[in-house]
Structure 1
């Protein structure tokens, strides 16, 4: 006879769940350890930030699926995985909006809303990362660090210091997450990276992204070089033609009467 499923796992998950004010983000994905300025204007988001500040609590930052959606009333309108963040600073602006400095702490999963007014309060669970210590992980880290260096050298729109920073990172999860700073990464790609809790799979995802971007940048560089070479050739031909015209003018060859005289002499 099959053993009836136990409720222990569900109870353990329930024990890990707590409630926090939630801010829905538009086309922005915050990662653990990331420190970013956040400008909030929607009434519920402002109220959520203020509630978190008053309670001295962290805040849940979760990206919404449709960036142009104004009101969020259901968890299905948000991605399931977001980030728990600490509020470092809050400034109330005269136009009613709030500017905050937040620092990502850990990945979280949203299990639902406990309230939707006057602000969103979510039931969240912190996602625990486990870091393996096998050879594959070390190989992946070195590969990604080398790819970051190649990405920068190929002309990526990131500071040159990014390659040095990547080399100095010893924590594999952080190394993978730092790729989210790349402007080449879309919101959907950042969200996929955030939702990839398994560190080995996350590094593989990052490695695939970097390989693709390096290929694009190298192809772009090749095309630009070919275009420049063709432009240089065209410019040289133009200069030679102009020089020839100048010589002809000096010799009077561009004067119709002089050309007729030259023909008669011949």
Structure 2
């Protein structure tokens, strides 16, 4: 299985500065399949891929010994058992890629750098050992730069520029790159490669026949991301303001306590705590009730007197203290007296 990761090009020797290579016009109709987990490779892009499964490693080895071409296709689910051994788990539309660099790791896995060349469709699986091979057909894609498409490209560049300033994972160079790209397909595929989005969304962008549909899908995703980032920014700002306010109030309260202590004054809140504590001690409370009262008294001492919660806890403690714990009056079982009282309070009862 190929396991795409956020691999920097510096991780693989001599990968930096790679430019798009010339691809032969005549492509073979049968190629090894490179299943992709959690990734979609687009034409006209260069992508690092980490590979760990035997069949995928065998496919890359075969490609590097031959024309260096592979059919890269995303998997519908990477969580299924033997996901990359099941052709029914592959999307039928993928990208023919050219292996530019290969680096074998000490643990037997490998990292490769591939260049997407063109979109293609899997027509038929023709082999499964030692790797999966399939008959494919190249899908030609062209895009004339109309006014509508130019407007879509500008909108995409504007949104990307805003997002680059809001997140850390997109390189700042992307801002100038999006402005300089003239090819509509290259721009939509580059942004779709670098921007984090669901695999299903990337796959749909690849599959769309219409360049307008590709851009509309991408713009919808970018707009939604900006909305989420802006909401997240507002939430973060509000939280920071509340934290700053709470920290300032705490600092001022501590200063007031220190000043009163130096002046020999009694803190009103502490005086209240002491008074309630004496009442609890004087009350013959059961063990459970005493523990509860002491716990709430401790909470009361930590909460500012201006807080609404302070009054709630104070009322609760007063209620505990006022209850007649272990207190009882002598029972009077005189029925005639009871009758007289009831008749006086309730006519002819």
* Fold equivalence (TM over 0.5): yes
User: Match of 1:187?
Assistant: 199
2:182 is paired with a residue whose SS is: coil
- Structure 1 residues 100, 184: CA separation in 2 closer, same or farther (over 3 Å shift)? closer
CA radius of gyration, larger in:
2
State whether structure 2 residue 116 is matched by structure 1 residue 104. yes
Let me know the Cα RMSD of the aligned residues. 2.3
More strand by share: 1
State whether structure 2 residue 64 is matched by structure 1 residue 64. no
State whether structure 2 residue 179 is matched by structure 1 residue 167. yes
Asked if the contact 1:37–1:100 (Cα under 8 Å) also holds between the matched residues in 2, the reply is yes
User: Match of 2:55?
Assistant: 44
Counterpart among 266, 276, 299 of residue 254 in structure 1: 266
- Structure 1 residues 251, 80: CA separation in 2 closer, same or farther (over 3 Å shift)? same
Asked if the contact 1:75–1:110 (Cα under 8 Å) also holds between the matched residues in 2, the reply is no
TM norm structure 2: 0.65
State whether structure 2 residue 153 is matched by structure 1 residue 150. no
What is the aligned length? 243
Distance 2:231 2:83 in 1: 43
Distance 1:37 1:60 in 2: 15
Asked if the contact 1:156–1:217 (Cα under 8 Å) also holds between the matched residues in 2, the reply is no
Asked if the contact 1:17–1:125 (Cα under 8 Å) also holds between the matched residues in 2, the reply is no
Counterpart among 188, 203, 210 of residue 198 in structure 1: 210
Once the two structures are overlaid, the 10-residue window that deviates more, 219-228 or 29-38, is: 29-38
Higher RCO by CA contacts (8 Å cutoff, separation 6 or greater):
1
TM norm structure 1: 0.84
Once the two structures are overlaid, the 10-residue window that deviates more, 101-110 or 69-78, is: 69-78
5+ unaligned residues in a row in structure 2: which ranges?
1-25, 272-349
- Structure 1 residues 129, 255: CA separation in 2 closer, same or farther (over 3 Å shift)? closer
User: Match of 1:242?
Assistant: 254
State whether structure 2 residue 27 is matched by structure 1 residue 29. no
2:29 is paired with a residue whose SS is: strand
User: Match of 1:212?
Assistant: 224
Deviation at 1:165, TM superposition (A): 1.6
Counterpart among 58, 64, 70 of residue 53 in structure 1: 64
Distance 1:82 1:128 in 2: 13
User: Match of 1:118?
Assistant: 130
